[in-house]
Structure formats: C-alpha cells, structure tokens
Structure 1
Amino acid sequence: MPLSPKLYTWLCGLFASLGSILFGKSFSSIRRYDLGVIANVIISPDFLRVTKLDSDKPSDSDYIGFIVSSFLLGAFCGCIPASLFADALSRRKAITIGACTFILGGALQCGANGREMMMAGRFFAGLGVGQLSLLAPLYQSEIAHPSIRGRLTTLQQFCLGIGALVASIIAYELEKNHKGTVFQWRFPLGFQIAPAIPLALLIPLFPESPRWLMLKGRKEEALQNLARLHARGDINDAFVQAEYTELDAKVSAEAQISSGWVEVFRGPSNLRRVFLGIILQFSVQMTGVSVIQYYAPAIFAAIGFSYEKTFLFQTINSVIALVAQALCILTVDRLGRRLPLISANLVACACFAVATALQAKYPASVGNTSAGYAFVMMTWIYNFAFSYGIGPLSWAYPVEIMNTATRAKGTALTSMSCWIANFFIAQITPRAIKAIGWRYYICFSVMSFTNAITIYLLFPETKGVPLEFMDTLFANTSWIYPLSTYRPDYVGHGEEQLRRGQLHVETGYEASVEKEKGEIEQQEEKHTY
C-alpha cells in the first residue's frame, strides 16, 4: 500500500532531523550531553594524559574550558556558510556538507592525540551542527503541506530530545563500567558520528525543495517534486497544479527584486521578520534553560542525592521532554504558535519563581530532602513547558516567516543569535551564581514573563498560512499584532481551496515593494528640484 502524501512528506522531514540528534548529543555547552559525556571526557585521566592538561592548574583549566566552548564558536561560524550553500548549491547538498563537516569534527575528537587536535575537532563539530541546526527546519518548511508544516518543523526538537536521552544513558554506562579508561572518552566522541553517516549518504535520494528549484528557474523539476511530495507523483493533481501556480507567481515576483543580502535588510517587512526571529532565538536562553540543564545535577548532588538517583532524575527529565515534544508535534498545527509560546513562557516564569524561593529558603547546604524533591519537580514541570512550547517553536517560527528569496539568509542570522545567547549565558552563569547565588534565578523568572508579553504584542500567528503569503501577512499587520484587524481568509481552509483548484494569489509583497520604490523616487525628485 503506497504511503499517503502527508506521511511521505513527514518521513522526509523526520530523516532530515537526523541532524538534530547530533545537535542533541553534541550541543556541549548547555545540553545534557555535556553533563554526561563531555563532562566525563574532560575529567577522564586518560584524556588529561593525552592532552597533557591538569585541571587543577588555572591556566590548564581555562584551556579545558575553551576546548568545550570552541564548539559554540564553530556553531556560530557555521550559520552564514550554511545559508550560502543552501542558496547556491541546494538545500540537500548543504545538508550533506553539514553532515560531512560534523563527521570530520567527530573523527578529529575521537582520534585526538593532543589538545590542538581536540580543539580542532570541537570547532568542526560545532561548525557542522551550526549548519544543520538551521538547514533541517529550512528544508522541512519548504517541503511541507501548509496544514502539517508545524509538525515537520518541530521534529528538530524531538530528535534533539532523543539525542539527549541516548547521551545520558551512554554517560551513565561509561561512568559505571569504564571509568578512567581510554574507552570512556574516545567511544562517545566517535559514537556521535553515527547519525551523520546515513544523513550524508542518503539525503541526496530525497526530494529537493520545490521552492529552491523554482527559485533557480528549474520549473519542471519543481513541479515533479511537488507531485512527488504531495500527490504520489501525479503532476496533474489539482492541489499540485494550484500550489505550483501560486509558487511560480510568487517566485517570479521575487525574482524582480535583489535576492542578495541587501534584500534581507531592505524594507520594514523583512527587517521586522529578521528582528522577530532574533528576538525569539535569544529569548529561549532568557528562560534559563541552560542554567536548569547545566546546574541541576550539581544541585541534586549538593542536596544529597546519590549519583544513581541523580541519573534517574535526569533520565525521567529526558523522557518528560520527549513526551512534551511529541505532544507539540501533534497539536502545534491546531493550537498555532502564539498560544504555546506565551503559555510555556508563563509556566517557565512560575517554575523559576518557585525554584528561587526554594533555594532561598532551603539552600543546598541545608540538606532538606523535601525541598530537594520539590526543586526536582520544578525542573520537570519547567522542562515539560520548555519542550512543548518554547524549544520546538524557536526553530520552527523563524524559517516559516521568511520568503523564499531570503529564507536561508534570514534564518542564518536568527540562528546566530541562538549561539550568541548560549555563549553569553555560559560565560556569565558561573560568576553570577558565585556572586549572588539564588538571586540569579530571579532574572529568568522576570525574563520569561517579559518573553510572554513580547510574543503576545509582536508575533503574528502563522498557523495555516502558506509560505507564499507570509509577505502579505506581514505587509498587512502592524508591529503591535493585537491591534491589527487583518486576518487572511485562507487560514484553516487554504489547503482545501487548493485541492479544488482555487487560487488565492495575493500581491501584498509586490505592492509594498512598489510603494517603497515610489517613495524613494519622490524623495529623489524632491532633492533634484
């Protein structure tokens, strides 16, 4: 029995998310893999022997810290090249390059014979992850039906959760059975390559993005890929024909305008979307996710929980995250983007408020077990909210609000803000906790609340809006979204209209461009006279 078009498209998107398993396993500065695998690597006696490092020496301690954080530097540097590869070579080839770059980084780490080789491996691994973290949702958004686009683009966070769970299990087994051996640090660094190999080898067999093909003038191939994705290969299908006509009209209009970097910053509509994407990616770290994930195990241990119980808490946390991410995939195209983002940030605010009160009243040194369990419960509730409404949508929303000509470049800029925020939090958190203790947590409670207000005021709802009509949506809505009266009439039933062969080609973007051109010409005439 042949697969339904939506299931086939969903499976294509799921395969592309293999890059997110690398992300979940290798996002070493803030994710659980650092706590389990990388943290064990940098204290392994054999690793310290090979790299000739002594963690007790201040200079060597800084060097070890830079080995860990060089991953972030690589991820930051990987965003712009990924956008250039995606536009020039294709979305699939860019994913292949990202996977191969990660394989190189993983191989250098696994076979490292000194600190320099290890640092180079960390940088190249980060470079690959920086590319794949934006390429996966980019590809998913461009192959999706409008009605399941949210389900596809939130797969990244689900696969990230799988990577985190696998990493925590590996870390526990290595700590328990191979502590102090060469296997303890070389195996996990080599094992992280596993998902990248099939991704690099098999992604060329999957359909190319029809939107990229159309952008390059390969219209026949674009039609064939639309049919392959959405109609079991039938190019005469009414839905495919209507979708192709809309896509052709949109890309033709965009082709008359510069598609370079200047287009990303030209005009209030594009600037607004890049600005919203940057705000969203940066706001994720302002919820305190890095602090919770990085320092919770240390707090558990300080309270008096054993290593086994701490591992159990973290494993339960990973399972909770997977359940929440699965629920997000199932409901995001019904509930939209605004409601989950707003409500999850409010829950994060409440969880940090309670956790802060617990730490203030019952510090870890007191050893109050009941307070310790209450703190654990707060981390679980927080993790559920974050994994349901914040993490997945922080990657899904930026890619869907950009137009075809600027999607790769705009998403690169928004992704870079994610890595900057990670680096910022990683750098200030140890000093802040040492200086002000539990008071530092108040910042994240306040910022989660302001995140919710910001999203309510500034972020338009994109549920059900076809990618080709994001320009129209942003051209007809004000910066303060609740004050806007415009609501696209095809939301919720646009796909059914397409299946009946009904088109809803709009010209909001082209009209806004012409308006801007007219204003510029008027200014030039005024200066001339």
Structure 2
Amino acid sequence: MVKLARVEDRPTPPEVYSWRIYVNAFIATFAAVMIGYDSAFIGTSISLNSFKTEFDLLTKSKTELGLISANIVSMYQAGCFFGAIIGYPVGYYWGRRIGLSLSGLVFCVGAILQTVASDKTGLGIIYAGRVIVGLAIGAASNLAPIYVAEIAPPAIRGRLLGMYELCWQIGGVTGFWINYGVTRHIGESHKQWLIAFAVQLVPGGMLLIGSLFLTESPRFLVTRDRNEEAHKNLSYLRNLPGDAPYVVEEMHEIKTAIAHERSLAGAGFFGPMKTVFAEKRYVYRLLLGSSLFAWQNATGINAINYYSPTIFKSLGIVGSSTSLLTTGVYGIIKLLGALVFLLYLVDQLGRRKLLIAGSIGGAISMYYIGAYIAVADPTSNTSGTIDAGGRSAVAAFYVWTIFYSPTWNGTPWVVGAEIFPQHVRTFTQACMAASNWLYTFLIARFTPQMFAKMDFGVYFFFASLMVLSVPFVFFLLPETKSIPLERMDELFGSDLRPWRAHGAVMQRIRDGQTHGPTRSSTPEKGETEMLESV
C-alpha cells in the first residue's frame, strides 16, 4: 500500500509533490487519531477505581458492572454505524471539507458532554456524549479516505492513504499511555479519570480547526458543476499555474471521467445505490467486503481494544499500573505492525496470504492463552506477581498482536476500496465503514457478558473463528494485488475460481489482452484514468 519510491503514471512536474498535498492529506487523516484514541482510552478509563467511585459502580455486581461497561463502549459504536451512513449524504451534498469540519465540531460537542459528567449528572450524559462522538467518527471514517484518494497524485496515493492507518495507531498508543500516566502520577480522584476524557478535545479540536483550511476536492466540485472553482483548487493542490499542461490535462480527465460515471450510474444521489443493487456482481462484492470486517472482529481485536484491563486480569496481571503498562506495550506493537503492513507487506505478499497467515498465527496464540487460563486459573493468584506460565501467556498475547497488526488490521479496508469501480465507490465506502462499526458494536456490546459466562472459553471462541476464516479467505476471496482497478470484473468473473483468478488475470495482462471474457464494457479513457487515480 505504501511505497517509498514513486511510480508515476505519466511524467509529473516535481512541484506536484509539494507540502500542500501532504498538509491537506494529513489534516484529513488526522480524523483517524480521534478514532484510535477513543478505542484505546475508554476501556481503561472506565476500569479505574476513581471512575467507579464517581458513579457509584463499586457496589454493583459483576454482571451489572459488565452491562454498564458494555453500554458505555457500545453506545459509541452504534453512533459510528449511523455516522458512517450519514457521511454519504453529507459528503454528497456539502462536500468533503465541510463534512470533516462538521465531524470535528460534533466530536467536540460529544467530548464536552463527557467531560462535564460527574456524580451529580450520572452516566446519562456520558451515554449521550458517546453516541454524539460516534456519529462524528463514523462520518469521518467515511469522508477522510475518500478526500485523500480524490486529491492525491497517483504516484503517492498509497503513501497518503497510509497516513490514515498510521494516525489511527498513533491515537491508540496515545490513549493507552495517557491512562498509564494518570494512574502513575495522579491519585484516585475526579481529576484522574477526567483527564483521559478531556484529551479527546485535542484531536477533535485540531480536526475542526485544520479542516477550515482544507482545500475542497476538485473532483467533488466538478460533480456539483463548480468547474471554475475546481480548476482553481486543482492548480493550488498541484502547486502549478492554472494553465500548466499537467493541470489542464488532469482537469480534462476529471470532467471526462465524471461524465462517464454519470452515464454508468446515473446522475444524482441514488444513482450509485441503484447501480450496486441492480448488479449481482456488485452485491456479491458488497457482501464479501462486509464479511471481511466480520472476520476482522472475529479475531477478538475489538474485545481487546475496549476491554484490555479485563483481558490482562484474566492472565493474572493485577494492579492498574501494571495492567496499563502491559496494555501500552500492546499499543506500541500494534503501531509497529501497522507500519510494517503499510510500508512493505501488503504490496509484497498480497491480501490472501496476509489474512491466512494472520488467522493461523493468531489462532495458535489464542488457543495457548485459553489453555493456560483453563489449567493455571491465574485469577486466583493473590501474590501480586506473575509466574513463568503467566509470562508465557502474556508473550503469546503479544505474538497474537504481531500476527494481527500487519494482517487483519488494515487489509479489509484495502480490499474494500479496491474491489469496486469508481462510479459506485463513494456509496460502497459508506457501506464498508458502516459494516465495520456494526460488527464492532456487537463485539463491544457482548464482550463483558462473554467473559462473565465463558471465562477462558472466550479465547477458544475467537481462536476457532480465526480458524474458520482461513477457508473463507481461501475459497471466496481472490487476490487483488497488482490487479488494475478497471479489471476487477475479470478477477471476480464467474469462469474463474477465486484461488486461481489472480494468476489467470495477471497472465492475460502479461499477454497483452485488453480485457477478459467477463468484462461487461470497455472503459473510456476518462474512466480508466480516474479508476487509477482514486
């Protein structure tokens, strides 16, 4: 996905790769810091004794406490699900820049509601704030990748889109270590738990302020017939005069491509929806892409993200500082795994091999953890120290993270963006984002109850699901590495088995065949250029 060397689709003036394109992309992808931070801080914050004391949770039974924790966490995912859907009409009618600005503003409103909560207000205001924050993040998770894809020069598109995943992991690491810091240096008090909630305002406020300086996507402006403004913005983003041949040619390609897309999907808000649901091949891909997010959650990642203190407690790690330190190390490993994924693995090994390897390695690790807990019963340890067996279980957990981070962490997003043509991708991206948040909501909502009822069985459950994901990927998901976007119809052709499709299509490409037998139509020049540029 990320290549340090630039492979240009045509001779490109060096001015195109100026700071302007990087700054605009970074502002948009900074939305992912909000997402990563929230996924990391909330589970550890609500496990603090200071938070439980504030809202009179120490007297609750284990079942009641699990239900409250699940509600606090899952309210956010429910908001994200609807926010991802809302992001489609917001982006369609108002544009990417205004959409990201609104996301930042709404996020700050939700964060403020959470920070003013206290024993006097009760948890109701936190629930409301969590839903509002979720709406903002869901919309941002839809709009930010689309904006970056639309403004990026083809040669550095992967690098710029990679900043989104990188920012996500940076937010996650920050969330883990903020909680560790307040636990070590601030005594149990209202201030201790409040700081982590208040820090949400930093990434939210930075997105809000930064988005005011974003240059609106030229491609969006052309879809609204604001061609003169689009030409001006493209000239600015490319750091070239408006009459420069490169700008004139790209502007012509954008207008040609959009005209062709309208002929394929129909003009208007509902055109892409009608196109997707009228074509069985697109419905199949929609279900396939959505299923990848279900399998991603079946690895147990969001159970770990949101309930890491519970996870480490089950391994026999006692004491909030020790638990948070262990969680912080987990966040760093996840960040490093994301870097390896973005810089090397996804473009070298391909999607299928990564997902299968991640499932096999992750399943073995999870089975070991479950077996250790079943035999050793580490929760009965009252010595305050962890023995050799416990350390091996923690090591297995980190091995699971090493397998997950460069495989299932980002690959579903890559595949979801690749398998659809440009003229429906804005709609299908909203569907992919909504799918992610729906499955995350289900896992976050029921994980506390699963641990209460199943104990070590939770690890066996997720390990078994990872095993089941291997035949799913092998038999149903074709490899998309190196396949041009305009030839995805061939890759998913009915005459090709998924595990053989990649080799067959690549052979056709090497043989110089323009299209395979399953291609429904020949793309016009504008469509081809835009498919390659988004």
Establish whether TM, by shorter chain, passes 0.5.
yes
Alpha-carbon shift at residue 81 of structure 1 (Å): 0.9
Query: Which amino acid counterpart does residue 110 of structure 1 have in structure 2?
Result: T
Does residue 486 of structure 1 match 2:499? no
Q: Matched residues in 2 for 1:207 and 1:505: separation?
A: 37
**Number of residue pairs the alignment of both structures matches:** 492
Pair 1:312–1:187, CA change in 2 (3 A)? closer
Q: Could you tell me which residue of structure 2 aligns to residue 253 of structure 1?
A: 260
Given that 2:479 and 2:499 are in contact with CA atoms closer than 8 Å, whether structure 1 keeps it comes out as no
- The 1-side partners of 2:379 and 2:46 are apart by 27
* Alignment match, 1:496: none
Q: Which of 278, 303, 312 is 1:291 aligned to?
A: 303
Q: State the 1:490 CA deviation.
A: 7.4
Which of 408, 421, 424 is equivalent to 1:403?
421
Does the Cα contact within 8 Å between 1:17 and 1:156 map onto a contact in 2? yes
Q: Which whole-Å deviations, capped at 9, do the CAs of 1:169-227 have from their partners, x for residues lacking one?
A: 22123223333323223332222011122222222433333433343344555555555
Of 277-286 and 199-208, more deviation after overlay is shown by 199-208
332, 352, 357: which is aligned to 1:343?
A: 357
User: What is the identity, as a one-letter code, of the residue corresponding to 1:283?
Assistant: W
Quickly say closer, same or farther: Cα 1:67–1:426, change in 2 above 3 A: closer
What's the offset of the Cα at 1:286? 0.5
Question: Using a 3 Å threshold, how does the CA distance of structure 1 residues 458 and 64 change in structure 2: closer, same or farther?
Answer: closer
1:91 aligns with 2:89: no
Residue aligned with 1:511, SS: coil
Deviations 1:332-355 (A, max 9, x none): 344443333332223222222222
- The whole-number CA distance in structure 2 between the counterparts of 1:470 and 1:153 is 22
Counterparts of 2:435 and 2:35 in 1: how far apart (Å)? 16
Q: 1:88 and 1:54, CA in 2 relative to 1: closer, same or farther beyond 3 A? A: same
Structure-2 residue corresponding to 1:380:
398
Q: TM-score, normalised by structure 2?
A: 0.80
- Deviation, 1:306, is 4.1
- Tell me which residue corresponds to 1:207: 215
> What is the rounded CA distance, in whole Å, between the counterparts of 2:374 and 2:423 in structure 1?
51
Q: CA deviation at 1:83?
A: 0.9
- 1:423-442, aligned counterparts within 5 Å? 423-442=441-460
Match of 2:108 in 1: 103
Matched, 1:312 2:325: yes
Change (3 A) 1:215 1:482: farther
Is the Cα contact below 8 Å between 1:37 and 1:168 reproduced in 2? no
Which of 4, 8, 32 does residue 20 from structure 1 map onto? 32
Shift of 1:279: 0.9
Residue 216 of structure 1: aligned partner: 224
Specify the alignment match of 1:82 in structure 2.
87
Cα separation, partners in 2 of 1:190 and 1:92, compared to 1, 3 Å: same
Partner of 1:525: none
Residue type of the alignment partner of 2:146: L
Q: Distance in 1 between matches of 2:24 and 2:479?
A: 26
Compute the displacement of 1:278 (Å). 0.6
1:162-173 pair list within 5 angstroms: 162-173=170-181
Q: What are the ranges of 5 or more consecutive residues in structure 2 without an aligned counterpart? A: 1-13, 524-534
**2:464 paired residue number:** 446
Q: Using the alignment, how far apart are the partners of 2:252 and 2:490 within structure 1?
A: 19
* CA–CA separation in structure 1 for the residues paired with 2:49 and 2:17: 44
Residue 195 of structure 1 aligns to a residue in which SS? helix
* 3-state secondary structure, aligned to 2:104: helix
Residue of structure 1 equivalent to 2:239: 232
Q: How far apart, CA to CA, are the structure 2 residues paired with 1:161 and 1:399?
A: 20
Q: How does 1:28-47 map to 2 (within 5 A)?
A: 32-40=40-48, 43-46=51-54
Structure 1 unaligned residues grouped into runs of 5+: 494-503, 514-529
Q: Which moved more, 1:379-388 or 1:297-306?
A: 297-306
For 1:359-385, what per-residue CA distance to the aligned partner results, in whole angstroms no more than 9, with x for missing partners?
Answer: 233332464711211111122122122
Q: For the Cα contact (< 8 Å) 1:22–1:160, is it kept in 2?
A: yes
Q: Relative to structure 1, is the Cα distance of residues 195 and 436 closer, same or farther in structure 2, using a 3 angstrom cutoff?
A: closer
